[in-house]
């Protein structure tokens, strides 16, 4: 019969092996997710989708400047399907200096705030 120390060492080895496998699979999943995002971006660009920046530039001031300032620079050149989608996914309304209510009013499709500039 094995001693408690031998069993503990054996279990520790298995736990370490499982942890290493988990870390490897987590990294692989991240890479797959990044590949999917990149492929999706390429597809949207090929379909002539506007970028977050291009959508936000259609807003009137000060909404245009505020949306651009609240959005991460790395996201601005990513394609997006619509202005509404850009507003909903471009940044956290709650974390923005303007707050949720401000962006909620801007985001309504019939809002005069969404009128595109000439």
Q: What percent of the chain has pLDDT over 90?
A: 46
First to last CA, the chain: 84
Chain mean pLDDT for the chain: 85
114 band by pLDDT with thresholds 50, 70 and 90:
low
Query: Residue 95 and residue 118: Cα distance in Å, rounded?
Result: 30
The pTM (predicted TM-score) of the whole model is: 0.59
Question: Could you tell me which residue, 112 or 66, shows the higher pLDDT?
Answer: 66
The domain ranges of the chain are 1-47, 52-114
For residue 118, pLDDT over 70 is answered with no
Sign of CA dihedral 109, 111, 116, 118: positive
For residue 98, pLDDT over 90 is answered with yes
pLDDT computed for residue 3 by the predictor: 85
For residue 68, pLDDT over 70 is answered with yes
pLDDT computed for residue 25 by the predictor: 87
């Amino acid at each position: 019969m094995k001693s408690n120390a031998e069993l503990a060492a054996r279990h520790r080895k298995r736990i370490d092996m499982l942890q290493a496998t988990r870390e490897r699979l987590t990294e692989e999943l991240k890479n797959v997710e990044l590949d999917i995002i990149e492929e999706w971006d390429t597809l949207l660009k090929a379909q002539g989708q506007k970028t977050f920046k291009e959508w936000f530039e259609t807003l009137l001031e000060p909404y245009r400047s505020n949306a651009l300032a609240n959005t991460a620079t790395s996201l601005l050149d990513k394609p997006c399907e619509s202005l509404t989608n850009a507003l909903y996914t471009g940044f956290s309304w709650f974390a923005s200096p303007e707050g949720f209510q401000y962006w909620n009013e801007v985001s309504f499709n019939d809002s005069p705030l969404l009128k595109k500039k000439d």
